[in-house]
Amino acid sequence: MADVLTPAQRRLNMSRIRGRDTKPELLVRRGLHGRGFRYRLHRRDLPGRPDLVFPGRRAVVFVHGCFWHGHGCPMCKAPATRPEFWASKIAANRARDLTTIRRLGDAGWRVLVVWECALRGPARLPEGEVLDACAVFLGSEEPGRELAGAWQARLRPEPTQ
């Protein structure tokens, strides 16, 4: 399928995609701040510049977009144009994410990854449920965790009787 936009239009669209202060990230930030958690944003001295850093709890939170980080959920649909480019780009992003999480763990940081599908789309979880899970993680000693939408449950066929 051919791209419906000209190369100049596509370039403009892609240049407008932000890497920080995204809607899902702001939702998590506001929700945790409202629950009394205080954090630092995008600390440059940590691998991967985590979205939220809780220094006293030695915990970081990444809010990952499903497409850009190759989650594999229904929200992560590969573009039809330049499939080789996108496959290699997303594979490199995933490899970098794994390296970042490993390096943070080796440095004694606990890592929570909140996927976009947990906050947006048809399989999203209730906002309060996501924020509760974040708060539980921050109050625990759990080394790492991921929060994703309930899309896996929606993909399973209904049991027949």
CA distances from 102 to 24, 98, 125 (A): 24, 6, 27
Residue 81 lies in a domain: yes
What amino acid is encoded at 64 in this protein?
H
Question: Which domain does 88 fall in, by range?
Answer: 18-155
Q: Is residue 144 part of a domain?
A: yes
Q: Is residue 11 part of a domain?
A: no
Task: Classify residue 8: in a domain, yes or no.
Answer: no
User: Measured on CA atoms in the order 81, 85, 88, 91, is the torsion positive or negative?
Assistant: negative
- One digit per residue, the tens of pLDDT, for the chain of length 161 reads 567 878 888 778 777 676 777 899 999 999 999 999 999 999 999 999 999 999 999 999 999 999 989 998 888 888 888 889 989 999 999 999 999 999 999 999 999 999 999 999 888 999 999 999 999 999 999 999 999 998 765 444 444 44
Specify if 142 maps to a domain: yes
8 Å CB contact between 51 and 25: yes
Residue-wise DSSP of 57-70: GTEEEEEE-TTTTT
Q: Residue 65: which of 17, 31, 128 has the closest Cα?
A: 17
| HSE value, Cβ hemisphere, 13 Å, CA-based, for 124 | 12
Q: What is the CATH number of the domain that holds 103?
A: 3.40.960.10
> Is 3 domain-assigned?
no
Closest CA to 114 of 160, 52, 157: 52
Report yes or no on 109 lying in a domain: yes
Domain assignment of residue 6, yes or no: no
Total of domains in the chain:
1
Q: What is the pTM of this model?
A: 0.84
